[in-house]
Amino acid sequence: MLTEKKSRVQKSLELWKHAEDIIMDGTQLYSKMASVGVKGVSPVYFVKADGVYAWDYEGNRYIDYTMGLGPCFVGYNNPKVKKAIQDQLEIGTIFSLPNPLEIKAAETLIDIIPCAEMVRFMKSGSEATQAAVRIARAYTGRELIIKGHYHGWHEWCLADTTKNGGIPKAYKDTVFEVKYNDIDTVKTLFEQHKNKIACVIIEPMETELPKDNYLQKLRELTIQNGALLIYDEVVTGFRFALGGAQEYFGVIPDLAVFGKAMGGGLPLSAVVGKKEIMQKAKEKIFVSSTFGGEMLSLAAFLAVVDILKTEPVHERIFSIGNKLRDGFNALAKKHGSKIECIGLGPRLDFNYRNLKGQTDLHVKTLFMQEVVKRGIYFVWNMLPSYQLSDKDIDYTLKVFDEALRITTEAERKGNVSKLLEGEPPIKVI
């Protein structure tokens, strides 16, 4: 529970209480709820951002490692992205007919994404994964789906979760969730549901590396069983390589979904894939969006691609992320902590374990509390921006050092819970 000591984000908490009265869930994205951080310590509202820094409602500044939950990996207020938006704003944002900018953006995707031969623009990652699955079902004439853990908020995504209110029970029988790298379960599902599985949709990588040719084996299994392989690259897209994780790992899917970083902070997503699949499916499905061709976002996307082509973005992101991961793990070893930083440079996460090696929510909370109090912000994955300076990285590691010292000492003294100044973060899904 919150302590009686006045919170450093007290004004924000009061505003949040009002927001919960008038906005369903208090905000538009579960991952932005006050309860996903250390409520009472973590910032609740950001009011401005620039580069890699964000300022909360009280005026505290943070180095932001979440970057808008992924979209702003070339930095907040990136000058090239901003100029592209401003220039397009003078021309227009949306018309009553298509604009040639849609063609230019589609050609750009086809040029840089290995699996892309045809494109459809949407606005959110959830919309795009929904469209991709509908295309797969229409193309194959099948209904069953094998999926990873999270791909958005539509029925097929959430039917088998605890957040399945309002979803007809029948949907649950059409979806099978598999853990990453569990190829044996995928094989079993294909055997049990022969000629009924439309697609396998997965993130090509979260923070666990593919093992024993996992992606290649998935590719082979889907081909053998007449199913489509769909990559959810909403997070990995443009972050791991210009052509996404499929370029980085060299295993090409039938369809792929991109979003988040695509618009440089503006809302844009896309389904891309083989022309034969999308041409056949389009006669059977209805996918339509008033704002799919909105031009500020398309202009921002083209600016993002230009940055990726002309600046050492990926080299820098891998370097930064790997330095943070390796530096953190060296510090954890120094302090005797069992907390571990995992993943590749562009996308990092933490295994929060206590000194006994067990997952521990209070240890996680104390560590996050001490980090955020010192001006480092992240909640779920760390998604470094290439605009982070060496000074930012050095300061972050210094904060990690101090937070690990405090957390480990508290564990040894058995007073972790007593040091908590806020409420433990919740798990959304």
What is the per-residue pLDDT across 67-81, written as a single tens digit (0 to 9) for each?
999 999 999 999 999
Average pLDDT of the chain to the nearest whole number = 95
Q: For residue 150, indicate whether it is catalytic.
A: yes
Q: Which of 45, 76, 139, 150 is catalytic?
A: 150
Residue 2 scores a pLDDT above 70: no
| Block residue for tokens 């990995």 | 236
Residue 232 among the catalytic residues = yes
- Domain range annotation of the chain: 10-76+312-419, 94-293
Q: Which of 232, 254, 360, 392 is catalytic?
A: 232
Check if 349 is active-site: no
Tokens of 147: 């999926």
Q: How confident is the model at residue 6 (pLDDT cuts 50, 70, 90)?
A: low
Handedness of CA 138, 143, 149, 155 (dihedral sign): positive
Residue 360 one-letter amino acid: D
Superfamily name with CATH number, domain 10-76+312-419? Aspartate Aminotransferase, domain 1 (3.90.1150.10)
Among 39, 123, 260, 373, which one carries the catalytic annotation? 260
pLDDT band at 5 (very low <50, low <70, confident <90, very high): very low
HSE, side-chain direction, 13 A CA sphere, residue 93 = 9
- Give the pLDDT mean for 253-266: 97
Q: What is the mean predicted confidence (pLDDT) over 214-239?
A: 98
From CA 134, how far away is CA 125, in angstroms rounded?
Answer: 14
* CATH code for residues 94-293: 3.40.640.10
Domains 10-76+312-419 and 94-293 share a fold: no
User: Which band of pLDDT confidence, cut at 50, 70 and 90, is reported for residue 254?
Assistant: very high
pLDDT greater than 50 at residue 1: no
Is it the case that residue 8 has pLDDT exceeding 90? Answer: no
Q: What percent of the chain has pLDDT over 70?
A: 99
Angstrom distance (rounded) from CA 258 to CA 270: 5
Which is higher by pLDDT, 284 or 6? 284
Mean pLDDT computed over 21-44: 94
